[in-house]
C-alpha cells in the first residue's frame, strides 16, 4: 500500500532556532517528492520538489533532502521565524499513471514561539 508517514506530528520551537522534519514513504514507482507549507485555513503552497536523481533542494531557509534508497526525506528549516508556524506536508507522486497520483502525509504542525 502506498503510504507517506511524517514525524513528528507536532513541534514547538523558539524563534531563531533550527528544526528538521522527517518523511518516510512506501510509494512505488516513485516519481517525485515535494514539501508543501499549509498555513491555517489556507491551501498548501509548494516549497520544494525533488525527483529521483536530486538529493537536496533549497528554497531560502528551507532545505529538503531525499534518500531514494531508504525512501526518506527531511525538511530542514534554518533560523525559524514566527511566520514559519504552519503545517508542513510531505507529498509523494507516483509515475504509475498518467495522472501522477499524489500521496499526502498528515503533516507536521510547527509552532514557532517568540
Partner 1 sequence: EADIYQTPRYLVIGTGKKITLECSQTMGHDKMYWYQQDPGMELHLIHYSYGVNSTEKGDLSSESTVSRIRTEHFPLTLESARPSHTSQYLCASSDGRGAKNIQYFGAGTRLSVL
Q: Which residues contact 15 (CB under 8 A, 6 or more apart)?
A: 80, 81, 82, 112, 113, 114
Backbone angles phi, psi at 83, to 5 degrees: -70, -10
By C-alpha distance, which of 75, 104, 73 is closest to 11?
Answer: 75
- Contact between 100 and partner 1 (CB under 8 A)? yes
Interface region with partner 1, contact rule CB under 8 A, candidates 21-29, 58-66, 76-84, 104-112: 104-112
What is the smallest separation between the CB atom of 45 and partner 1, expressed in angstroms?
7
Number of H helices, E strands in the chain: 0, 11
Judged by CB under 8 A, the chain residues 19 through 78 that form the site for partner 1 are 31-32, 34, 41-46, 49, 51
Nearer to partner 1, 17 or 106 (CB): 106
> Which of 77, 89, 92, 110 contacts partner 1 by CB under 8 A?
89
- Contact between 101 and partner 1 (CB under 8 A)? yes
Phi and psi based region of residue 47 (left: phi greater than 0; alpha: psi -120 to 50; beta: remaining): alpha
In the complex, which residues of this chain contact partner 1 (CB under 8 A)?
A: 4, 31-32, 34, 41-46, 49, 51, 89, 93, 95, 98-102, 104-107, 109
Amino acid at each position: 500500500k502506498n503510504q507517506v508517514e511524517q514525524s513528528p506530528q507536532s513541534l514547538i520551537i523558539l524563534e531563531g532556532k533550527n528544526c528538521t522534519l522527517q518523511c518516510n514513504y512506501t510509494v512505488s514507482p516513485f516519481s517525485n517528492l515535494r514539501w508543501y507549507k499549509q498555513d491555517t485555513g489556507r491551501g498548501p503552497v509548494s516549497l520544494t520538489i525533488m525527483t529521483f536523481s536530486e538529493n537536496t533542494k533549497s528554497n531560502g531557509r528551507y532545505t529538503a533532502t531525499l534518500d531514494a534508497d531508504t525512501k526518506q526525506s527531511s525538511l530542514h528549516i534554518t533560523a525559524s521565524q514566527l511566520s514559519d508556524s504552519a503545517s508542513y506536508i510531505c507529498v509523494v507522486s507516483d509515475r504509475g499513471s498518467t495522472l501522477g497520483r499524489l500521496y499526502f502525509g498528515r503533516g507536521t504542525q510547527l509552532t514557532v514561539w517568540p
